[in-house]
Chains A and B, each alone.
Chain A
Amino acid sequence: MARLLQVYLDSQVDETTAEAVAQHLRDCGDCGLEARTYRAIKRAVARRSVPTPEAVRRLRTFAEELLNRDQGEHSV
């Protein structure tokens, strides 16, 4: 169940399996607690690091310069 729970929390199971797991988590307090704990961990990890807007902006500029460079060469 432990491995299946991870796959379920990552939404990487088919619909039938997901429903079966969800039902079990409703019925089994033990597994339900486990699921909430791991979901809380997953969300906390997701919050810890988001892309630095400045870095992404610089990379977009870099990519656009690649495009513009060829545009310039093409128009010459």
Chain B
Amino acid sequence: MMQSLTTRDRDKWLEVIKKVPSADCYAHPELGKMWEASYPYSFEAVYAEFGDKVIFYPFLVRPLIELPFGKKIMEELGPCFDITSPEYGGIFHNFEDGVPYDIVKQFNEEFGEFCKRRRIVTEFGRVQVLLSNTNLGPGYNVRRMGKVVWVDLTKTPEELEAGMTKEGRKKMRKAVRDGVSVREMGPEGFEQFPPLYYQTMEYHTAAERYYFPKSFFEAMERMDEKFCFILGAYFEEKLVASIIIIQHGGVAYSYLSATNRDYQELRPNNLLFFDMLLKCKERGCHSFVLGGGAGGEDGTYLFKLNFSQLEKDFFIYDRLHIPDLYLKLIELKTEYEHNCSHEDFDPQSVSFFPIYRAEWRPGENH
């Protein structure tokens, strides 16, 4: 029988994930703090126990009133929601040989009922890359979306350095020679990070969704230091690059990073990333997920390959829970885009899921 949890049930949540060694920071209630403090979202989870075996599924519930045509949705359809994974996610479990099909199917059906009751129209997520648990059962559409780079932190620091590309090592040594140093930042780091981060997002002309509000970073500051910490690369006591790391269950992730372009020539990121790996190793992590690129194997991806050549396939999944409402939401989205003079908006040609959340840029392939 499936049970549900919210971050208010923190003790129970922690008790359940304690049984699942693979549950990392994306399954931890601490993560909910930053989302719930800044967005009208709720971080929730469902789980089912079968003796000492557990299936655990964490997710973010988002109200659709946050969409630009949210008022219209409320007027015509009433409150509607959807689900996404907080970056990576999917199902975490402690079955040795994978979850048996009948259990996945039952869990899947009960979750479908849960979503219908809650008026959750769609579900979208990114599968935790080291687990690659794509066995989600009927109703789910799983797609491969390229690759991510990860680092095996069970290696010694010397082996990690030797595992870097020649060019990566060269740039890292150059940064040291030029006087760049890396250190862990205290709570002030989360105040210094946002301006540098917004500057970086502007440089990359990032989509609006990447401009997290200041409250998001303030919430990170309040998070358990064992769970979330920040590193800074300094040159002559000036912060030139910084990175926020989240970790739990032996797996660490580089969550957000920022660089001052004026100091790009010092290559502070090469040193920052390497020191980040060492810090996470010191903290007892066995794996570090560097992630992928912004669009396939681009410059960001190639930069990450400097630190490790270990790659994993990256999968996304989606599921439609209330088809009637989904089609109505697409109609409202189309009406909204056409009213915004995007006459060429054609929902059938939008590959983004769910279609009603697509950011339409006329003339581009979607």
Answer yes or no: are A and B bound together in one complex. Answer: no
B interface residues, Cβ below 8 angstroms from A: none
